[in-house]
Structure 1
Amino acid sequence: MKNKIFFSLFTAFIFFGCKTQITTIKQQTINKTPIKEHTIQSLLWVQNAAEYKALTYQAYNLAQLRLDQILANNTSKKPIAIVTDIDETLLDNSPYSGKQIELDENYTSERWTEWVKKENAKAIPGALNFFKYAQRKNVTIFYISNRSAEQTKETIRNLQLKGFPFADETHVLLKTNSSGKGSRRSIVNKTHEIVLLLGDNLSDFSSIFENSTTTQRNKNTDSLHTSFGNKYIVLPNPMYGDWETKGIYEGKYNWTNDQKDSIRHKKITSY
């Protein structure tokens, strides 16, 4: 009789112990935060908020006003040029970010290449009208992007399909060895007077923003405050950028997802 009672208790212990363990494992799986969960709100804003569209129109309206002022007072002996970034400045790659969320994966060059080869990025609101306007005013456009030079053909075709002027190998300068854009801007400066720069990342405007911490980026922005809306036109991009990788994550690319989550929370200011 005692053996039967002991066996029954032992069996019950094993059963409920296993059940508790299975429940715990399931709960841990349920509670695991997806890798790209923190980007959903910013992506929804870019793809849905009228405020995002209003800001891009505002940026390009301001760019046109400044271009008119510059041309009215132009004394340069060199031809006038505008230098612009591509991604999130005049082409919308938010569907790529959507795919990252769908597959719950971080950036990979393979997935990015897959997207670029589709040549299907849409024009940012206001961008096409502005660059066509600049072309009519005999202003040359140079596209300086950190897309890989191996993606030159696909990038040019995407730009051409959307109707952007000067979309050719002479005017599209992609990344070869260095992600720094200063050397490519220098190439343009040899033959043209750069009067406007457009981008979504501060390194699109000046080399002083490259490889900078959040504190340095903010100090440099303060020191150049008169340039914004004057020579530098900034497009909104809350999805990704140096503000995150080199600022929030301090230029380190080997953080685990849990460490990234912890860092993001620590960077928040509350009261």
Structure 2
Amino acid sequence: MKKSTLIPFVAFLILLGCKSQIVQQKHESSRIEKTDIPIREYTIQAVLWQQQAAEYRALSYQAFNLAQMQLHTILDRKSDYKKPIAIVTDIDETVLDNSPYSGKQIELDETYSTSRWTEWVKEKKANAIPGALDFFNYAKSKDVVVFYISNRSTNQKEETIENLQRIGFPYADQAHVLLKDSTSEKKPRRLLVQKEYDIVLLIGDNLSDFSAIFENRSTIERNRSVDSLKAFFGKKFIVLPNPTYGDWETKGVLEGKYNWTNFQKDSIRHQKIKSY
């Protein structure tokens, strides 16, 4: 090859190499960005919906209106029960709105931590879920006892009671607020209530608030169990909406595993989306 043509050819090769390197760097940069997903980014829409959507308020009112209708029916046949009647309710996202805590997670880009949750609980600033206060005070006016069974830790009992009392919830005391001690399963605490009362309504945002059949189950199992118990929903089981967190995500979508990386969780969520 002549010298006059060799120089432009070498320059072309150098340029091609530089271009290839730039493309590779862009690809690597894109790959790094893909793995560096904000931890709570995926919850933004859910938290916005809970805090901003009138539809969320409407569904909450609907749930408690339905609960009151059912309680009317139950009271009409109160003589059928051998024991005093009681309602069992969850606390978080059922009577108390913790969406500001979820907002703080998004703001700080951090996953759940006991210390941050404890910080929020100690604030005692959670407000009532729409419709909850009116319903439970109505229940009290009819001499129906209310028990709060929650998986908040027992060392948060004082703050929890004070928060409920600040808003005006009835039966917010040591005897009627039953928090998590040795196990997160709620069945033992429900059985404790059943020793002296007939439980006529269960209210919650998580299916494990209603029956042990939903504990530690896959998405398929949870859906099958809902189908088998469909006659109970709206009658004995009253469900509140919660798109932000719950067993549907941890035990269902994420398959009960807590050691997925953030990138793996993001991949799993995308894989489980149904399309056409």
The gaps in structure 2 that reach 5 residues or longer are: 1-10
Say if 2:37 and 2:263, in contact at 8 Å, map to a contact too. no
After TM superposition, list the pairs within 5 Å mapping 1:186-197 onto structure 2.
186-197=191-202
Residue 95 (structure 2) aligns with: 90
Residue 186 (structure 2) aligns with: 181
Residue 55 (structure 1) aligns with: 59
Deviation per CA, 1:122-177, whole angstroms, max 9, x where unpaired? 00000000000000000000000000001000000000001000000100000000
Residue 75 (structure 2) aligns with: 71
Residue 171 (structure 1) aligns with: 176
Deviation per CA, 1:86-134, whole angstroms, max 9, x where unpaired? 0000000000100111111110011000000000000000000000000
Residue 215 (structure 2) aligns with: 210
CA distance in 1, matches of 2:25, 2:256: 39
Superposition deviation, residue 35 in structure 1? 1.0
Say if 2:233 and 2:239, in contact at 8 Å, map to a contact too. yes
Say if 2:37 and 2:262, in contact at 8 Å, map to a contact too. no
The gaps in structure 1 that reach 5 residues or longer are: 1-8
Indicate the SS of the match to 1:161.
helix
The residue type equivalent to 1:180 in the other structure is E
1:220 paired with 2:211, answer: no
Say if 2:84 and 2:196, in contact at 8 Å, map to a contact too. yes
CA distance in 2, matches of 1:173, 1:22: 56
CA distance in 2, matches of 1:227, 1:85: 17
1:39 paired with 2:43, answer: yes
Residue 142 (structure 1) aligns with: 147
Residue 6 (structure 1) aligns with: none
1:117 corresponds to which of 116, 122, 143: 122
Superposition deviation, residue 33 in structure 1? 2.0
Indicate the SS of the match to 1:67.
helix
Worse overlay, 69-78 or 227-236: 69-78
CA distance in 1, matches of 2:218, 2:25: 44
Indicate the SS of the match to 1:35.
coil
CA distance in 1, matches of 2:271, 2:30: 26
Indicate the SS of the match to 1:218.
helix
CA distance in 1, matches of 2:226, 2:263: 31
The residue type equivalent to 1:154 in the other structure is E
Superposition deviation, residue 26 in structure 1? 6.6
Superposition deviation, residue 77 in structure 1? 2.4
Between the two proteins, the alignment pairs up a number of residues equal to: 259
Indicate the SS of the match to 1:212.
coil
CA distance in 2, matches of 1:153, 1:208: 31
The residue type equivalent to 1:174 in the other structure is L
Indicate the SS of the match to 1:98.
helix
Taking only aligned residues, the RMSD between alpha carbons, in angstroms, comes to 1.9
CA distance in 1, matches of 2:33, 2:240: 37
**In structure 2, do the counterparts of structure 1 residues 97 and 225 end up closer, same or farther at CA, with 3 Å as the change threshold?**
same
After TM superposition, list the pairs within 5 Å mapping 1:123-162 onto structure 2.
123-162=128-167
CA distance in 2, matches of 1:47, 1:28: 34
2:246 corresponds to which of 241, 244, 253: 241
CA distance in 1, matches of 2:27, 2:230: 53
